[in-house]
Structure formats: structure tokens, C-alpha cells
Chain A
Amino acid sequence: GESVGLHLPTLSVQEGDNSIINCAYSNSASDYFIWYKQESGKGPQFIIDIRSNMDKRQGQRVTVLLNKTVKHLSLQIAATQPGDSAVYFCAENKRDTGRRALTFGSGTRLQVQP
């Protein structure tokens, strides 16, 4: 399956616990960040995004935190459910140059134990 070729870091949590998935990005000039969820055999599904003029943004059961000083992004999932099991990717770009291509991180596999 999806683990061939690249060993993904894996986070294993119990159902109902909170999950924190981390991402270190490389381009200090990036000003837009997104979290995507990818289930097996499917395309990336948008979860939440944040612009560089913010350090926190909340959605339904998810929160994204941005620390520009250390170029770190995190995704917090509250009350994790079995349906949250997937690979999570952060992505970034630098919009003010007109560039729209997203640069994806290598992903973290979230496993939710019932």
C-alpha cells in the first residue's frame, strides 16, 4: 500500500483522545499553509488552512497552529474518531509572488485505536 518507498511517521491514538500532528516547513517566505487528509486510494481532502498573519485558526474539531519563528505548523484534532484514520499532509506556498503551486510535506499516518 501507501507505505512502500517512504516510511511515514505514525501517530497512534485511542478513540476519544486528542491528536496533534506536526509539520516543519522549509520556506520561511511561505505565507499560506494548508492541512490535507488523505485516505487510502483517495485524493487529498482539504481540512483547514491558515495565512501567515495568523497564528491560530479553529474549525470543527480541528485547530491549526502556526509558529513562524521556528517554521512549525501543527494540526490538533479533538476527540479523535476512527474515521480520522488517514495520512495527513501539510502544504505551503508563497502567494504574493503569484505562485500557486503547493509544496507538500511527507505526511504523518494517524491510526485511531477503538
Chain B
Amino acid sequence: EPEVTQTPSHQVTQMGQEVILRCVPISNHLYFYWYRQILGQKVEFLVSFYNNEISEKSEIFDDQFSVERPDGSNFTLKIRSTKLEDSAMYFCASNGGIGTDTQYFGPGTRLTVL
């Protein structure tokens, strides 16, 4: 069964450093998303991406964040200058498109900012 994959599973970084979180969405999907979950809290939407551009973003997704689809399979989330409060699980999700609303989530990357 196809699934969303994410790397790395755990990323530790120093405050102020840049990190790139990587995702490989399900291959025939058209819409891609990033969500985050601070430890013990609810899952929060960050950004959605379609047709090589951001289609929607939340207030959390400020200028420190960016997304990119550098090739036909990868989808990345970059945080330019990490802050302590960026520590969270980051989930990538994808869905097929119009008429197929189900978003399938990857296993997540745990980001720890020291």
C-alpha cells in the first residue's frame, strides 16, 4: 500500500540554525501539506501546496518557513532560523485531488531545537 514517507525521523538542531524536513508524498497525489504537533497538543495546519505553489497557509507559517517541491517526488519544509518553540513533530500529508479529500499522513519528523 502506498504511503507518505518522511526523513529524518528525528532532527536535533541548535537555535538559529536552518533545518530542512523532507517528505515523499504518495506518488499520484496532487496536494501536499505540512502540519505540526507540539508535544501533547493537537495537530495544527501549517501550509498546503498545489501546482507548485502555496495554496493556503496558517498564521504559524511565517517568513521563517518555506516549502518546495524540488523534483517530482520530494516535498520539503525549511525553517530558516529555528527557535526553541519550533520543537514539535512535523507531519507531511498528501491527497489525490478534487473529489478525493482524504489526507494521508506520514510518520513525522521530531524536531528538537536546543
Contacts and interface: CB of A to CB of B under 8 A. Distances in A.
Interface of A: 1-6, 8, 32, 34, 36, 41-46, 49, 89, 91, 93, 95, 98-107
Contacts of A102: 35, 43, 45, 103
Interface residues of B, number: 26
Contact of A43 (B48, B95, B101, B107): B107
Chain A, interface SS category:
loop
Contacts of A91: 43
Interface of B: 4, 31, 33, 35, 38-45, 48, 55-56, 58, 91, 95, 101-108
A42 B45 contact: no
8 contacts: A4-B39, A6-B40, A6-B41, A44-B91, A89-B42, A100-B103, A101-B33, A104-B43
A88 to B, nearest CB: 12
Q: Which of A43, A45, A106 has the most CB of B within 10 A?
A: A43
Nearest to B58: A101
B45 A2 contact: no
Given A6-B42, A95-B101, A101-B45, A43 B58 contact: no
B43 A5 contact: no
A5 B40 CA distance: 5
